[in-house]
Each structure stands twice: as C-alpha cells, then as structure tokens.
Amino acid sequence: MSILVLGGRGKTSSRVSRLLAQANIPFIVASRTVSDKVPYHQSQFDWNDKTTYPKLFADAKAKTGKPVSAVYLVASMDPNTPEQLKDFIDLAVKENVKRIVLLSASTIEKGGPVMGQGHEYLVKLHEEIGLEYTVLRPTWFQENFSAAYHTPTIRNEGKFYSAMQDGTVPLISVEDIAAVAFRTLTDPRPHNTEYLLLGPTKLTYDEVAKILSDVSGKPITHVKLTQEEQTRRWIAAGLSEEFAAGLAGMEAGAVASGREGQLTSDAVLKVTGRPPKGFYEFALENRHVWA
C-alpha cells in the first residue's frame, strides 16, 4: 500500500516525505503545484477545487503501483476547512483508506474551529466504522524563527513581533512533529488518539529573543503588540483577514493568557523513543540564519 502526503512542500509534510523515502515506503505528495525539484511522486491538489480530490488516489495508484492506505492530512486555517475536511475524509473512506493522521494545533481541541471539526469527525468514523486515526496537536514551531513568519524582520530589523506578551510556550521543532507523524502513519498498530506535541522548555518570547541574541551575536528584540496590532501586521504581510485574525487570536488567547504554558505532554518521547529538541539546540543549529 502507499501513503498520501498532503501539504506538499510545507514544513512538516516535506520532512514526513523525507522519512518515508528513507524507509523505502511508497508515497505521493499532493500540493497546488508540482516541481521538477521535488524528487518524489507528485499530484496537483487544491482544497478549493474538489475535482482534484479523486485524482489524488488515481495518481497514487498509477505512480506508485499501489492504492492509498494512509493519509497525512494537512489543511489550512480557512473558513471552508471543516466542510472540505469532511468531504475529503468521506472520499478517502470510499477509496478504502484505512488510516488518517490529521495535523491540527495545540490551541484547537476536538470539536473546535477549523481542524477541530475534522478531529471530531475522525473520532466519529473510528467509532462507527473502525477508521484508524491520529490527531497531532503541536504547539508553535521553532522553525517560525528560521524559515517563516519571524525570519525577515529578525534579519532586517533585529526584531520580531507577537501578541504573546509574557506568556510562555513550549516551542517544538517540526523535525519532531514529522517523526511522530511518520510513526503514526506507519506503525503496525494504530494509535487511535490525539497527541499534544510540545518542546521540552517553556519560554517567553523575551527569553527566545535573548537566546537568539546570544547565539547569533547580534541584538534581537521581541516587540509586544496588542491582538489588533498583530492582526494588522499579518494582513500587511499578505495573510487573509480570517487567517490573520485567527493567528493573532491564538497568540493572545492561548499564549498571552497563560493557557499554552500550562500544557504538559511526553508524546514525542512516548511515540519516537527520544526527547524533543530544545530551543537552544535549535538556535545553535540555525544561527547562520540570523547572524
């Protein structure tokens, strides 16, 4: 059987693909565009174009020689996501997919908005028809500082901005998320649960700034914004109004309020057999990005 990896060349999906390739497990990558630079089987896919959904399963069988048995399901923070997830999951079940691993977030509980609705639906199908599932709920990514939101302003201004105030967050590496995803996709026994995925140390963003300053050798500052100010920054950066508001709301609602700092989990160690990477180790590995 083969594995379908949604999310294309995204942070976690690209690393899941690499682990599958290293294990010689057949898989196909789905994304909005295909690229000659990607050394894996690919299929074009758009969440907003439902005609592309069934093509994934046909492409997987044609290109890998095997039908899809498991799906790594990555969606977006879009108002249409709950309906899209349900339609895709229903199609996957019709295509005889046995296992689905959904990437959600620590701030989104079962039954909550966007991916929370998909989480709830997977549990329902597990109870009704035995669909195997895992829901991954990682906290904020360490790589947001090296290859995403905060990287340009750190390079250009020596600053990064958030609405997290003095709240703490156990930042996690996407390498650890991918390692857990790989195991939950490929382990002989299904996990049939949700996992909170957390890094080993809870840090304020002021503490993050100090670590980045220490390892890069240049002063880096955390600028504290209100939720409304951060929403406007995300919109100016090109995010949709809905996504910008949701992201800033999670910063203020989960981190600044202290909820994220109260989370505990040993899921990375439990599933992979090794502890998650700490932020200081991550910063040392990536100091060339900010220096």
CATH of domain 2-138: 3.40.50.720
Contacts of 5 (CB under 8 A, 6+ apart): 13, 16, 17, 20, 27, 28, 29, 30, 71, 72
| Domains of the chain by residue range | 2-138, 151-168+200-262+277-290
Higher model confidence: residue 241 or residue 134?
Answer: 134
Band (63; pLDDT cuts 50, 70, 90): very high
Give φ, ψ of 164 to 5 degrees: -85, -15
Token representation of residue 173 = 């590496």
- pLDDT tens digits for 163-218? 999 999 999 999 999 999 999 999 999 999 999 999 999 999 999 999 999 999 99
Contacts of 196 (CB under 8 A, 6+ apart): 106, 137, 138, 139, 263, 264, 265, 267
Has residue 86 got a pLDDT over 80? yes
**pTM for this prediction:** 0.95
Which CATH number among 3.30.70.1140, 2.30.38.10, 3.90.25.10, 3.90.1150.10 corresponds to the domain 151-168+200-262+277-290?
3.90.25.10
Has residue 148 got a pLDDT over 90? no
Cβ contact 86:118 at 8 Å: yes
Has residue 50 got a pLDDT over 90? yes
Cβ contact 84:120 at 8 Å: no
Cβ contact 115:108 at 8 Å: yes
Band (246; pLDDT cuts 50, 70, 90): confident
